Amino acid sequence: MDALGLFAAVVAVTLFPGGVYACAAAGGAVVAGGVRGAGSRWTPAALGAAALLIFAAALVPLPQSPATELPGPGGAPTNLLAALLLIGGGIALGTAPRWSRLRVSAAMAAVVPLLVLAAQAATLSFPVVVGLPGPRLAAARALAAGAILLAVPALGGLRDESVPRGLRALQVAVPALVAAVLLAPPGWSNIPAAAAAALSLAGIAVYAGVLRTVLWALRGHTAPLAIASVPAAIASIVVTALASR
């Protein structure tokens, strides 16, 4: 594949599945999560943050995603570290630079278990990490997904009106898309792409609805969820370590 063809393919993958999945998931989060208020105006930083999150969504290994076919025949497995860096950049660039110890802890809880799973797999290939066999590693992935879902409200809040509404939804939806893939059952890669997308998007909408209810019960405080993400992350790391024995 020549350079121009590669560029065209990257643009195409960014639009689909990246842009389509990210925007559809964000739309579900807006409706189910009750994201209110237009928020601040779209600044260049906010637009850049949204672009990073859309790029990250393109790397999530949903079944039959065309991203696994780049840069040429034979495929190039999507990179877990690249996806995490893009999501982290999208959250950091698109929110106010207020990183309390609690927020840093939540970020570490969301990221470290995935890197430990990658170390267990001896690869940064995202499809390999989400497909590691065995009940212990399946449990470790589920705990890592739980840590992400608990950490998200502290990282990119649905109620932070200093951030444009669409960007707030993306900051919740794209990490939740990663969690959905981690929670996928065995044989996930063999189901039709449309069914996988529908299940993932429905799951993200349900998560946003649950998150809305929980935050209402907590009166908008995200600290309890951020604190709960830490033991979930530790449990994931411990289970992964036990699985290596």
CB 87 within 8 A of CB 102: no
Contact 85, 133 (CB under 8 A): no
Structure-block tokens of residue 243: 């699985």
| Per-residue exposure over 104-114, b if at least 16 CB sit within 10 Å of its own CB, e if not | ebbbebbbbbb
Q: What is the per-residue pLDDT for 202? A: 92
Asked whether the bond before 175 is cis by omega within 30 degrees of 0, the reply is no
Closest to 149 (Cα-Cα) out of 106, 90, 115, 195: 106
Q: Is 125 helix (H, G, I), strand (E, B) or coil?
A: strand
Q: Residue 190's pLDDT is what?
A: 79
Give the HSE-up count for residue 159: Cα atoms under 13 Å, Cβ half-sphere: 12
Per-residue pLDDT of the chain (245 residues; tens, 9 = 90+): 455 555 555 565 666 667 788 888 888 888 888 777 666 788 898 899 999 999 888 888 887 776 665 555 544 557 899 899 999 999 999 887 778 899 999 999 999 999 999 999 998 888 889 888 889 999 999 999 999 999 999 998 677 777 888 898 999 999 999 999 999 887 777 788 788 888 888 999 999 999 999 999 998 899 999 999 999 999 999 999 998 77
Q: Which two tokens stand for residue 30?
A: 């807006």
What is the Cα–Cα distance from 200 to 43, expressed in whole angstroms? 30
What does the domain layout of the chain look like in residue ranges? 3-243
Model confidence over 43-78: pLDDT tens digits? 898 899 999 999 888 888 887 776 665 555 544 557
Helix (H, G, I), strand (E, B) or coil at 79: strand
